[in-house]
Amino acid sequence: MNIFNLIRLALRALQRNKLRALLTMLGIIIGVAAVITMMSIGEGSKQSIQSSLSNMGSNMITISPQSNQQGGARTQGSSIQTLTIDDVKALKRDATKISALSPAVSSSGQTIKGALNWPTTIQGVAPEYLDIRKLSVKEGIMFSDDAVRSSAKVCLLGQTVVDNLFSAGEDPVGQTIRFNRIPFQVIGVLSPKGQSSFGQDQDDIILAPYTTVQKRILSRIYFSNVYASAINEDASEAATQEVTSILRESHRLRDSDEDDFRVRTQAELIQTLGSTSSMMTTLLTAVAGISLVIGGIGIMNIMYVSVTERTREIGLRMSIGARGTDILLQFLIEAIMISITGGVIGVLLGVSSSMIVSSTLNWPTVISRSSILLSFIVCAITGIFFGYYPAQKASRLDPIEALRYE
C-alpha cells in the first residue's frame, strides 16, 4: 500500500472516532502549547535583559579595583586605592582599542533645594561618561574638560532627582542645589533611562566633574571605577587584554603578582544573566516536556485499545493480502497522525497563549521558530516511539486467530 493511501486510511480511522482522537491528542496539545509558551516567555525575558544591558552600552568596559595578596594579607577591593589619575593617563596614552575613557568616583549624600531634600548619589565623571553609558542631556549642556580641570561646582541631574527637588514645571537649569552642603550649579538634566534590569533607578543620580567630587566632597585621589568604551563590541575582548597589560605596567606588577584590578566587559554580564534565564527556560521546558511524554503514553494506550478493537479487521486485511509491514505502517501512521495533528493544534494554542501573556501581563515574549520546529520534531518522535509497539503487536497477529477473534 502506498503512503498516500496509508495517510488517507489513518485520517479515516481518526475521523470515525473524533472525540477519542481529540482526547488522545489532548496530552500532546497541552505539552506542545506549554513548551512553546514557556520557551517564548523565557526567550522574551532573555532578550529584554540583553537589550536593557546593551542600552547601558554594550561595548562598555568596567575597571574596578580588586583585592590582591600582598605579604599574605588580603584587602577588600573597595578600600583599595590603586586606581588613580596616572592609570587614566596611561590608558589614554597607550590604549588603541578604547574610544572613550572616564574615571568615576561616587558618594552618597543628601541634596537640598530650598525646603525640599532628597538622598541620592553623586557620580564624579569625565565628559566622555555620557558616550560610554549612552546617556544624553535633555536640557542644558554637559560640563566641559575645563570644568574638570578647574573642579567646577557644576552638575547634571537625573530625572528622579529633578522630580524630588523641583516642583512641576520649574526649570532646574541655572538653579543652585546643595549636596552635602556644597553648592552646585545645575547646568543640565539627563534624559530618563528608567529602571535597570536589576530594578535600580538609573535616574536617581547627579553627575559632576570627577575632580570636584574627589577634592570637594571626598578628599581622595583614587577612583572607585574607570569606565571605558571599546571601539566596537567585537573588540571588547581585545580591549580588555590591552587594558590589563597597560594597568599591570602602570601598577608595576611583577609577572608573579595577581592583578589588583578587575576588567569586566558588558558582554560578560550579558552572558551571566543570559545563562540564568536560559536555566529557567530549560527548567520550564523540561516540565512541559514531561507532559509531552505523558501525551505519548496516552497515544500508546489508545493505540493498544485500537489494535485490540480492530483485531478482526487486521485478520481480514491479512487474509486478503496485507503484509505485516502494511499493518505496521497503518497503525504507526495513525499514531503519528494523532501526535502531529496534536502538535499543530498545540503550536497554534502555544502561539496564541504567549500572545495573550504578552498583551495581558505585559511580559515580553518571543516566539522562536526553533521552538516550533523542536516541538514538531518531538511530536513526530513521540508518535513513532509510542506508536511503534502497538503497531508491531498488530503486525505480528496470526491471521487465523485474528479472523476468529470475538
Partner 1 sequence: MSKKILEIHDVKREFKMGTEVVRALKGVSFNVEAGEFITIMGSSGSGKTTLLNMLGCLDKPTSGSYLLDGVDIKGLSRDELARLRNHKIGFVFQAYNLLPRTSALENVELPLLYNAAISTKERKERAINALKAVKLDGRFDHTPNQLSGGQQQRVAIARALVNEPVMILADEATGNLDTRTSYEIMALMQELNQQQGKTIVFVTHEPDIAAFSSRTVMLRDGKVQKDTANTNRKSARELLDSLPETDDY
Among 313, 331, 351, 379, binds partner 1 (CB under 8 A): 313
Nearest to 333, CA basis, from 399, 379, 388, 393: 388
Q: Indicate whether 79 belongs to the interface with partner 1 (CB under 8 A).
A: no
Q: How far is the CB of 300 from partner 1 (least distance, A)?
A: 24
Number of residues that bind partner 1 (CB under 8 A): 22
- Which range touches partner 1 (CB under 8 A), out of 55-63, 69-77, 308-316, 380-388? 308-316
DSSP 184: E
- Find how far residue 328's CA is from the centre of its chain: 46
Q: How far is the CB of 27 from partner 1 (least distance, A)?
A: 26
Q: Choose between 227 and 331: whose C-beta lies nearer to partner 1.
A: 331
Cβ density class 284-301: b for 16+ within 10 Å, e for less:
bbeebbebbeebbebbbe
Q: Choose between 262 and 396: whose C-beta lies nearer to partner 1.
A: 396
Q: Choose between 169 and 321: whose C-beta lies nearer to partner 1.
A: 321
Query: Segment 214-253, which members bind partner 1 (CB under 8 A)?
Result: none
Q: What angle do CA 248, 250, 254 make, to 5 degrees?
A: 45
Among 316, 344, 348, 355, binds partner 1 (CB under 8 A): 316
129 is written with which cell numbers? 561618561
Q: Indicate whether 92 belongs to the interface with partner 1 (CB under 8 A).
A: no
Query: Segment 376-405, which members bind partner 1 (CB under 8 A)?
Result: 399-400, 403
Among 321, 360, 362, 370, binds partner 1 (CB under 8 A): 321
Q: Indicate whether 314 belongs to the interface with partner 1 (CB under 8 A).
A: no
Tell me if 225 sits within 8 A of 63, measured CB to CB: yes
Q: How far is the CB of 197 from partner 1 (least distance, A)?
A: 60
Among 94, 233, 268, 326, binds partner 1 (CB under 8 A): 326
Tell me if 178 sits within 8 A of 111, measured CB to CB: yes
DSSP 232: S
Distance CA 41, CA 325 (A): 43
Q: Indicate whether 1 belongs to the interface with partner 1 (CB under 8 A).
A: yes
Measure Cα distances from 91 to 127, 130, 271 in Å. 16, 19, 26
Question: What is the SS3 assignment for 89?
Answer: helix
Q: Indicate whether 169 belongs to the interface with partner 1 (CB under 8 A).
A: no
Distance spanning both ends of the chain, measured CA to CA: 27
Nearest to 70, CA basis, from 254, 264, 263, 220: 254
- Which range touches partner 1 (CB under 8 A), out of 156-164, 248-256, 293-301, 309-317? 309-317
Q: Choose between 139 and 326: whose C-beta lies nearer to partner 1.
A: 326
Q: Indicate whether 305 belongs to the interface with partner 1 (CB under 8 A).
A: no
Among 249, 324, 352, 356, binds partner 1 (CB under 8 A): 324
Provide the 10 A C-beta neighbour count for residue 47: 16
Q: Using CB under 8 A, list all residues that contact partner 1.
A: 1-2, 5, 12, 16, 312-313, 315-326, 399-400, 403
